[in-house]
Amino acid sequence: MSRIGKLPITLPQGIQVTVENNEVIVKGKLGELKQIVKPEIQVAVEDGSVKLSITEETKENKSLHGLYRALINNMVVGVSEGFKADLELVGVGYKATNTGQVLELTLGYSHYIYFQLPKEIKVETTNERGKNSTIALTSYDKQLLGQVVAKIRSLRPPEPYKGKGIRFKNEVLRRKVGKSAAKK
């Protein structure tokens, strides 16, 4: 049995969890999230905590036990506190601005890149003279936030020679040495 799956999830004040037809619904002050759970995993809500158990012990069920516990815990944390991701644009002329839910990126290409963000994600950009542009994304859905951040990073991933690209704030890149002159 999964050690992570055995742990109960304590519910903060104001969070409601309901289970109907193998679907877990978590409601909180920031929003509402849903997750379909396999029928082999039983979800029980009792006195301020959520507990998961498995009906039959197979290898797949044991691994899913911990997975669903982690997913439901992320949902509870998301609707109560939310998640945040900070990105930094490193490079000469790299900029980011937003107009509502549209993110406009200048990444050294011959054209601007317009990125439409989902309504569940809030965006904030800063462009200070002499500093790198930053993008702050916040959401209550950790899975969606991770997908959007990965898509934005893929537009110009950080490269190891000069360090240019889109990276996480305070991310340390492993730098490589460039060409060395021929020895005579």
| Tens digits of residue pLDDT in 126-167 | 998 889 999 999 999 999 999 999 999 999 999 999 889 999
Domain residue limits at 64: 3-80
Strands 102-106 and 113-116, by their bridges, are antiparallel
Query: Residues 47-57: pLDDT tens digits?
Result: 889 999 998 88
Binned at pLDDT 50, 70 and 90, residue 181 comes out as low
Asked if residue 67 and residue 23 are part of one domain, the reply reads yes
- Give me the CATH number covering residue 58: 3.90.930.12
Structure token digits, residue 103: 């993110």
Q: How many domains does the chain have?
A: 2
Instruction: Please say which residue of 57, 80, 103 terminates a domain.
Output: 80
Residue 2, pLDDT score: 60
Beta bridge partners of 122: 138
Instruction: Please say which residue of 80, 103, 135 terminates a domain.
Output: 80
List C-alpha distances in Å: 64 to 7, 51, 58, 109, 142: 14, 14, 10, 43, 19
Instruction: Please say which residue of 34, 49, 80 terminates a domain.
Output: 80
pLDDT at 1 exceeding the cut of 60: no
